[in-house]
Amino acid sequence: MAMTKRLMIEGVSAEALARRFGTPLYAYSKAALLDRFGRLRKAFRARPTLICYALKANSNRAVCRLFARAGAGADIVSGGELERALAAGFPSGRIVFSGVGKTVQELELALRRGVLTLNVESPEELAALAAVARRLKRPAPVSIRLNPDIDPKTHPHITTGRAENKFGVERGEALRLFRRAAADRWLRVKGIQCHLGSQITDTRPYALAAKTVTGLISQLAKEGISVELADFGGGLGVAYQGDREHPVEKLAATLAAALRPWPRVRLLMEPGRYLVADAGLLLTRVLYRKSTSRRRFLIVDAAMNDLGRPALYGAWHPIVPARPRRGTPATVDVVGPICESGDFLGRARRLPPCEAGDVLAVLKAGAYGFSMSSQYNSRPRAAEVLVNGTKARLVRRRESLADLVSHEL
């Protein structure tokens, strides 16, 4: 996203987008989305890798379709995401289904649609899957999600690969599940999966996970159980503030080296944030200014229901005016209209003078922004646009007041 005096999203100014589509508004750059995918694919080119985009980061169909056309697979965690992925054009043979709590209906849907693999996370889930497969007379492709008990040193809410987390199974249990799957005529062993957490900027945790995964692959090979897929999940971090982006070339080299003794095993990754975070921003308008004896506030029309990350994880997103005014910057809290003190987009920010009506942009909001939004306080969800050069296309209309009550009986 080019930063000139006026904030531009490709060839369109942020102010023009706000005027045309209203605020709050999510805007994504097509070029930035494709650029990220290209970079990741290039980094992993030494070894055939299936990059499965984690839809949860941003499941807008227009965004998904770009990745599907570019050759990505999809990582999904619900029947809803499965339908979205298929609607966006991901071939079912490139879809992997993760999650600790897949329902019987979801297992059935996944088998009927013919996904590449289901990442199974418990003995009871494996039994449920075998029962569904037997009933449908369709063998189920199974990967076991390993919990390698590694601390990726990220926010506790987005750490997933530690023994106290609900995800995956421990090594011994994984072995038992593989044996059980190999012995069941309705189950087909596909691979090993693990996912350590999110917003990880260091390659070391993956190197540790690779050790455990390859150890398990060797053990299974000794028992005559062969594995086709090694899936290291997502988690690749981006640079929000001071922190560095995940060195993806180094990651690719590390994983390729670990898998060298296994040339037939296909490497799989499930990145979400890395592909979409930087390509999106949230536009909002200043409603009011207000000062107390302690703080200065800019009250804007976007809130924690639109972008929950600051309130939920204390996340820091850059905030910039669409057209900076001249004058002395001030330190302000940028807050939304929701009735909670946790409703802020940024605290203690140095911003140029702002007035009611000015447009602000919350940057790096393409991941876990709209996809986590809600209607809390009965606020209709924002609109989304995709920018391509000088053209902007509405890819999700703003919800109306009627939409808010349309499901109530």
User: Which H/E stretch holds residue 405?
Assistant: helix 401-405
Q: C-alpha distances in angstroms, 393 versus 32, 61, 355, 383?
A: 16, 13, 28, 11
Dihedrals phi, psi of 383, to nearest 5 degrees: -90, 160
Q: Contact 359/284 with Cβ under 8 angstroms?
A: yes
**Length reported for the chain:** 409
Q: Is the separation of the CB atoms in 136 and 108 below 8 Å? A: yes
Q: Closest approach of Cβ 109 to ligand LLP, in Å?
A: 18
Amino acid identity, position 101: G
Tell me the closest approach of the beta carbon of residue 5 to ligand LLP, in angstroms: 31
**Residue (195 or 381) nearer to ligand LLP, CB:** 195
Taking the C-alpha atoms of residue 379 and residue 300, their distance in angstroms, rounded to an integer, is: 14
Which residue in this structure is represented by tokens 């972008």? 307
Catalytic residues: 339
In this structure, the strands spanning 383-388 and 391-396 are antiparallel
Closest C-alpha to 141, from 115, 123, 167: 115
| Nearer to ligand LLP (CB atom), residue 368 or residue 370 | 368
Grouping H, G, I as helix, E, B as strand and the rest as coil, residue 68 is helix
Q: Which is nearer to ligand LLP, 200 or 332 (CB)?
A: 200
Positive or negative: CA dihedral 243, 248, 249, 252: positive
Residues that bind ligand LLP (CB under 6 A): 54, 57, 75, 98, 158, 160, 195, 198-199, 233-236, 270-274, 309, 313, 368, 372
> Contact, 145 vs 186, CB < 8 A?
no
User: Would you say 200 or 220 has its CB closer to ligand LLP?
Assistant: 200
Minimal CA–CA distance to 45: which of 233, 252, 245, 247?
252
The strand pair at 229-231 and 344-351 is best described as unpaired
Q: Are 198 and 141 in contact (CB under 8 A)?
A: no
Choose between 143 and 160: whose C-beta lies nearer to ligand LLP: 160
The minimum distance between CB 14 and ligand LLP, in angstroms, equals: 23
- Name the minimum Å distance from CB 133 to ligand LLP: 22
Nearest approach in angstroms of CB 359 to ligand LLP is 24
What are the CA-CA distances from residue 288 to residues 299, 311, 356 (Å)? 5, 21, 5
Integer distance in angstroms from the first to the last C-alpha of the chain? Answer: 44
Q: How far is the CB of 328 from ligand LLP (least distance, A)?
A: 34
In the structure, how many helices (H) and strands (E) does the chain have? 12, 19
Residue 233: CB minimum distance to ligand LLP, A: 5
Nearest CB to ligand LLP, comparing residues 34 and 372: 372
DSSP 153-168: -S-GGGB-SSTTSSSS
State which residue, 297 or 313, has the beta carbon closest to ligand LLP: 313
* Residue 89 CB neighbour total at 10 angstroms: 14
Q: How far is the CB of 121 from ligand LLP (least distance, A)?
A: 9
CB closer to ligand LLP out of 10 and 75: 75
Residue 117 phi, psi (nearest 5): -160, 155
